[in-house]
C-alpha cells in the first residue's frame, strides 16, 4: 500500500511539474556552468541547447539577443549541476523561473567514463531523458513580469522565434540538407575508443563519432566543427550549428 502511495505521489509531482514547465515560452542557457572552468567547456552549453530543442523547447544562450516579444518572466533559466561522487560523474538539470524558484529538477544522469569529455556528455544526455518524458508543449500562457502566476494570453497563438527544433520534420522542411562528401560517396566506419571514425576511400578521416547513452545519437566532430551524428528513419545525419543556423548533412556509412 505504501509503495502504491509513493508511486501515486511521484506521478502527481511529475504531472504538476510538466504543467508548470508548459507555462513558459522558452529557456535561457548559460554559456558557463559553475563546475566548469571556461565558457562552453566540453561544449556542454551547446549540448544543453541541442537537447532542449530536441525536447520541443525554444532556447537562447544567455549572451545572445532575445526577441522583445519575450519578457524575462516568460522564460525559464536552466542550469546544469554536478553531484559529488567517487569514480562516477553525476549531472542533473534544474529549471528556474525569473525569481529563482525551481520549476523542475531532472533525474540524475550518471557516467562511469574516466574522461570528462565523454563522461559529462553521457551524464547530461541521460539527465535529459526525464526532461523528454515531460512531453513539453507551450500552452500559450504568459507570465506577467515579476510574478509567478500565469495569466491568459490575449494573443491567438504563442510567439515562435527563429529556432529550429531538432526533429525529422523540421530538418526536412527548414534545414539545408547535403552530403558530408560532395559526391555522396560512402564512408567506412572504423572502431576507435568510445566510438568510431569515418574514412573515405583515400583513406582520410572525415569525421569522428563518440558514443552516448542513446545508440542512435553520437557526439561527432569534423575538423573544427562539433555536432552530433543522429539516426533518423534509417539514415545517418551530421548536424551542427553554423552561425546559429542548424545544418544537417546526410552521411552514407558502411559499418
- What's the pTM? 0.54
Contacts of 199 (CB under 8 A, 6+ apart): 187, 188, 190, 205, 206
| Residue 158 buriedness (CB in 10 A; 0-12 / 13-18 / 19+) | middle
pLDDT tens for the chain, residues 1 to 255: 444 444 444 444 444 444 479 999 999 999 999 999 999 998 899 999 999 998 999 999 998 888 888 888 889 999 999 998 888 999 999 999 988 899 999 999 999 998 888 899 999 999 999 999 999 999 887 665 554 445 444 333 333 333 333 332 333 323 344 444 545 578 888 888 888 888 887 778 899 999 888 888 899 998 888 899 998 888 899 998 887 788 889 988 887
Q: Is the dihedral of CA 46, 171, 207, 193 positive or negative?
A: positive
Q: Report the Cα–Cα distance between both ends of the chain, in Å, rounded.
A: 51
> What pLDDT, on a 0 to 100 scale, did the predictor assign at position 149?
46
> What pLDDT, on a 0 to 100 scale, did the predictor assign at position 68?
84
Domain boundaries, the chain: 2-151, 168-254
Retrieve residue 242's grid coordinates.
553554423
> What pLDDT, on a 0 to 100 scale, did the predictor assign at position 160?
32
Pick the closest to residue 23 from 128, 124, 153 (CA basis).
153
Coil, helix or strand at residue 3: helix
Say how many residues make up the chain: 255
> What pLDDT, on a 0 to 100 scale, did the predictor assign at position 142?
63
> What pLDDT, on a 0 to 100 scale, did the predictor assign at position 185?
76
Calpha distance 123→89 (Å, rounded): 7
φ, ψ of residue 159 to 5 degrees: the values are -75, 135
> What pLDDT, on a 0 to 100 scale, did the predictor assign at position 176?
40
> What pLDDT, on a 0 to 100 scale, did the predictor assign at position 164?
33
Q: What share of the chain is helix, strand, coil (3-state, %, to 5)?
A: 25, 35, 40
Coil, helix or strand at residue 237: strand
Task: List the helix and strand counts (H, then E) for the chain.
Answer: 4, 17
Amino acid at each position: 500500500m505504501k509503495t502504491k502511495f509513493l508511486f501515486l505521489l511521484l506521478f502527481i509531482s511529475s504531472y504538476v511539474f510538466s504543467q508548470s514547465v508548459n507555462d513558459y515560452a522558452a529557456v535561457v542557457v548559460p554559456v558557463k556552468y559553475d563546475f566548469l572552468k571556461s565558457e562552453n567547456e566540453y561544449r556542454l552549453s551547446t549540448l544543453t541547447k541541442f537537447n532542449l530543442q530536441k525536447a520541443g523547447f525554444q532556447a537562447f544562450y544567455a549572451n545572445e539577443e532575445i526577441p522583445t516579444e519575450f519578457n524575462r518572466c516568460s522564460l525559464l533559466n536552466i542550469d546544469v549541476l554536478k553531484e559529488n561522487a567517487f569514480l562516477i560523474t553525476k549531472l542533473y538539470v534544474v529549471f528556474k523561473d525569473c525569481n529563482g524558484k525551481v520549476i523542475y529538477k531532472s533525474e540524475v544522469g550518471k557516467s562511469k567514463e574516466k574522461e570528462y569529455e565523454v563522461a559529462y556528455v553521457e551524464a547530461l544526455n541521460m539527465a535529459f531523458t526525464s526532461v523528454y518524458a515531460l512531453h513539453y508543449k507551450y500552452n500559450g500562457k504568459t507570465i506577467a513580469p515579476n510574478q509567478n502566476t500565469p495569466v491568459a494570453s490575449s494573443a491567438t497563438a504563442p510567439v515562435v522565434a527563429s529556432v529550429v527544433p531538432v526533429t525529422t520534420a523540421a530538418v526536412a522542411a527548414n534545414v539545408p540538407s547535403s552530403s558530408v562528401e560532395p559526391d555522396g560517396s560512402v564512408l567506412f566506419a572504423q572502431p576507435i575508443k568510445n566510438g568510431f571514425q569515418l574514412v573515405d576511400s583515400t583513406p582520410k578521416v572525415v569525421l569522428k563519432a563518440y558514443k552516448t547513452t542513446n545508440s542512435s545519437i553520437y557526439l561527432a566532430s569534423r575538423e573544427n566543427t562539433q555536432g552530433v551524428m543522429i539516426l533518423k528513419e534509417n539514415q545517418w545525419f551530421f548536424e551542427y550549428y553554423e552561425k546559429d543556423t542548424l545544418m544537417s548533412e546526410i552521411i552514407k556509412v558502411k559499418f
